[in-house]
Amino acid sequence: MRTIPATQRRAPAIDIAVVGGGMVGAAAALALSRAGFNTALLEARPPSPWHARDDHDLRVVGLAPSSVALLNDLGVWTSIRHARACPYAHMHVWDAASGAAIDFDAADGGRDLLGYIVENSLVQWMLWQSLEAAGVQRLCPAAVTHYEVRADRVVLELADGESLATRLLVAADGAGSPLRERAGIATHGRDYAQRAVVAHVATERPHAHACWQRFLATGPVALLPLADGRSSVVWSLPEIEAERVLALSDDDFLNELGVASDFRLGCITATTPRAAFPLKLQLARAYQAERMVLLGDAAHAVHPLAGQGVNLGLRDVAELRDTLVAARAAGRDFAAAHVLRRYARRRRSADTLDAYGFDALARIYAWQASPLVLARSLGVHLLDRLTPLKRQIAIHAAGL
């Protein structure tokens, strides 16, 4: 966006405007408001209320300890935990081609848990419910149609004809971020030409508070533990194969999923309706523009095989809050370019490393030539025996 010199010097209406009320955007607005910034959250539509009597949301997230710590700091974790969250302490990952397996156990790192499996809608709803009491102005429905960057503010033009002036604009408006596009920030990555088929299933054997992930030639299939004893399925498949699996009868789906998961939890005995979403790797080439930053899916979209997408977004939130608080404490303009560059440099570096790490893992497990499968098998066997290295991988995934 072009910069327009300020024609007046009165203070902007607010300190920070966050656009996008998903999990990451709502967490950002709550964190920044609790840190003492006058904050507004703009969202096109409010989230649907979450009720314990409703069935589980098909979209779930594996919250790492770093994410749990942030949500606890924001005052919402206890409500989420008591509502419906399933702790897991073990993860078993194995290769369909060779049988080579690796296990991650919380006890190996001296912890009780590796994380929690929680519904996206539950996290979003608890965050949304906490905004007003924390002093966040919830502008909903609201959509930004245009914005202008001036010397000391950003002026947002809204679809209802109103305008809003803010010192800093935070774009948390999703992978297709209109704000990122308006700022002229390009993205790079690749389309996996896959979709993740999701459902909740009942199994013959209990999930034992463990995550189970098997790598197939077509992509990984994961069984993630839910609080009611069922498992959440995330099955990555090529587009055509995903369409076929979505069209199967329930009985045929149960049988094919059992085969795909090696019947690790016994027969699959029941399923919810299925849904699917496309998979891609996408990284913004910059995380900042003048008086603007990106976070969450607006900045990065990654393969779900490691379950880290939302965790990366919540780490963005923590980094942004800490960076802005430090700048304010030092008496600096918290929306100045050099301050925002500090946030952008740290998070883009970390997110890029993780995103391409997940991508490399997906590529390695796609190898099917016998020599490559053998090499992969040897590598997995070695890694499973190198406890210190495995512990470091677990610590990194936990965000500790």
pLDDT (tens digit, 9 = 90+) per residue, 357-376?
Answer: 888 877 777 777 777 777 76
The contacts found for 385-389 with CB under 8 angstroms, 24 or more apart, are 387/108
Domains of the chain, each with CATH number or no CATH: 3-398 (3.50.50.60)
Q: How many CA atoms lie within 13 A of 143 on its CB side?
A: 7
- Rounded mean pLDDT, 167-174: 97
Q: How far apart are CA 317 and CA 299, in angstroms?
A: 12
Q: How far apart are CA 258 and CA 147, in angstroms?
A: 51
Residue 185 structure tokens: 């920030």
- Determine phi and psi for 83, rounding to 5 degrees: -75, -60
Q: How far apart are CA 395 and CA 195, in angstroms?
A: 29
Q: What is the pLDDT of residues 229-266, one digit of tens each?
A: 999 999 999 999 999 999 999 999 999 999 999 999 99
pLDDT of res. 23: 97
Residue 288 has pLDDT above 80, yes or no: yes
The contacts found for 391-396 with CB under 8 angstroms, 24 or more apart, are 391/108, 391/109, 393/104, 394/104, 394/108, 394/109, 394/114, 395/109
**Three-class SS of residue 83?**
helix
pLDDT of res. 6: 35
> What burial letters (b/e) apply to 262-273, b meaning 16+ CB within 10 Å?
eebbeebeebbe
Q: How far apart are CA 233 and CA 60, in angstroms?
A: 10
Q: What is the pLDDT of residues 88-131, one digit of tens each?
A: 999 999 988 888 888 888 888 778 899 999 999 999 999 999 99
pLDDT band per the 50, 70, 90 thresholds, residue 396: low
Q: How far apart are CA 142 and CA 42, in angstroms?
A: 6
- Rounded mean pLDDT, 58-73: 95
Residue 394 has pLDDT above 70, yes or no: no
Convert 294-326 into a string of H (helix), E (strand) and C (coil): ECHHHCEECCHHHCCHHHHHHHHHHHHHHHHHH
Nearest to 211 by CA among 94, 302, 309: 94
User: Considering only 41-50, 162-171, 173-182, 360-369, which range has the smallest mean pLDDT?
Assistant: 360-369
Residue 2 has pLDDT above 60, yes or no: no
Average per-residue pLDDT for the chain: 90
- Rounded mean pLDDT, 150-179: 95
